[in-house]
């Protein structure tokens, strides 16, 4: 029996990093729902979401060392690793350098080394559209995006030298029910509830939003490509709605769909340094995937959350 047929005959085993975050948590619970044997890798001091599903996952705690990472992978024995853990900072200060490198480069490289030591060669990696400022092949919006690119360069070594098969999914803005991150819809809901005006930029930048359920489908399709042996070396895809909207239009649509009164002081804040005015639109499309949830439909899913 071939390796692929053996995988299809048993319950696939997934190891997920970043399961304490919004996207990673959704992925871990979705995999569990779909019948996977789910293992999650967390750092010392991480707090798991208070959801019963997490009690059905095997949890491995990484103490920061490469030896610990190798032991975690040896215990999990995954068929595929989903790497979503990262430290996101839209702008950094000097004090953030160590944490950014430790989280986005060191931890991720330890993960690859541990995979190699345990003969696990399939990886779904998470990148960002912010690696492509001004729609360029590579121009990082911020240091966070540069660390994501640095890890991709390191990953390519393991692809070329250690026969890894990898897919990097480059995410745009994500949203969905239960999202407590201080992102756009969370801020709009707080402003509506308080009645206070929200200070924002002039609102001319285009935003590309993808609903969390569509993002999950992209991860599952990518994993299946790897399990089916369709990835010869490494691949990279953009997980984009393909229909970005100006921020002003986005806020107006959300107010209409949610039925809330949202007061905004447009132009009260300057644009961020290296503000992304138009999202990257030159990324390859993941075969078999396209977003199914329209923006207005997705906004309706946020009601009562």
User: CA 222 to CA 152: how far, in whole Å?
Assistant: 17
Q: Are 13 and 77 in contact, with CB atoms under 8 Å apart?
A: yes
At 50 the pLDDT is: 86
3-state helix, strand, coil in the chain (%, to 5): 45, 20, 40
Structure token pair of residue 277: 């005015």
At 1 the pLDDT is: 41
Q: How far is CA 273 from the centre of its chain?
A: 23
pLDDT tens digit string along 30-46? 999 999 999 999 998 88
At 2 the pLDDT is: 47
Q: Is the dihedral of CA 227, 231, 233, 234 positive or negative?
A: negative
Query: How many CA atoms are closer than 13 Å to the CA of 296, on its beta-carbon side?
Result: 6
At 112 the pLDDT is: 98
Nearest to 146 by CA among 167, 131, 168, 126: 131
DSSP-assigned letter for residue 53: G
Helices (H) and strands (E) in the chain, counts: 10, 13
* Binned average pLDDT, 10 residues per bin, the chain of 305 residues: 54 97 97 98 89 95 98 98 97 98 98 98 98 98 98 98 98 95 93 95 98 98 98 98 98 95 97 97 98 97 71
Q: Could you tell me the CA-to-CA distances from 171 to 10, 58, 155, 269, 303 in Å, in that order?
A: 30, 27, 18, 26, 24
Helix axes 107-117, 143-162, angle to 10 degrees: 10
Say what the pTM is: 0.95
**Where do the DSSP E strands lie in the chain?**
13-17, 37-43, 58-62, 80-83, 122-128, 165-171, 173-175, 198-200, 206-207, 209-211, 234-239, 245-246, 264-266
Instruction: List CB contacts of 293: < 8 A, sequence separation 6 or more.
Output: 211, 213, 214, 301
What is the Cα Rg of the chain in Å? 20
At 212 the pLDDT is: 98
At 5 the pLDDT is: 52
Instruction: List CB contacts of 96: < 8 A, sequence separation 6 or more.
Output: 89, 143
| CATH numeric code, 3-175+209-239 | 3.40.50.720
């Amino acid at each position: 029996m071939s390796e692929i047929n053996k995988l299809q005959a048993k319950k696939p085993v997934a190891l997920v990093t970043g399961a304490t975050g919004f996207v990673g948590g959704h992925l871990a619970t979705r995999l569990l729902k779909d019948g996977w044997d789910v293992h999650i890798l967390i750092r010392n001091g991480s707090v798991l979401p208070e959801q019963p599903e997490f009690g059905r996952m095997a949890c491995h705690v990484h103490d920061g060392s490469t030896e610990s990472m190798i032991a975690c992978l040896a215990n999990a024995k995954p068929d595929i690793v989903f790497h979503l853990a990262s430290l996101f900072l839209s702008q950094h200060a000097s004090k953030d350098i160590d944490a950014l490198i430790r989280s986005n480069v060191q931890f991720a490289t330890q993960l690859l080394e541990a995979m190699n030591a345990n003969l696990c060669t399939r990886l779904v990696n998470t990148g960002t559209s912010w690696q492509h400022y001004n729609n360029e092949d590579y121009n990082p919006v911020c240091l966070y995006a540069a660390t994501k690119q640095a890890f991709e360069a390191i990953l390519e070594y393991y692809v070329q030298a250690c026969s890894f098969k990898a897919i990097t999914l480059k995410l745009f803005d994500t949203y969905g029910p239960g999202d407590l991150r201080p992102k756009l819809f969370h801020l709009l809901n707080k402003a509506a509830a308080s009645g206070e005006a929200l200070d924002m930029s002039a609102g001319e930048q285009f935003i590309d939003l993808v609903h969390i359920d569509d993002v999950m489908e992209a991860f599952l399709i990518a994993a299946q490509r790897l399990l089916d042996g369709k990835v010869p070396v490494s691949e990279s895809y953009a997980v984009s709605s393909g229909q970005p909207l100006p921020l002003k239009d986005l806020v107006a649509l959300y107010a209409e769909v949610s039925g809330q009164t949202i007061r905004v002081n447009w132009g009260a804040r300057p644009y961020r340094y290296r503000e992304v005015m138009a999202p990257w639109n030159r990324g390859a499309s993941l075969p078999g995937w396209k977003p199914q949830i329209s923006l207005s439909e997705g906004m309706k899913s946020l009601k009562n959350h």
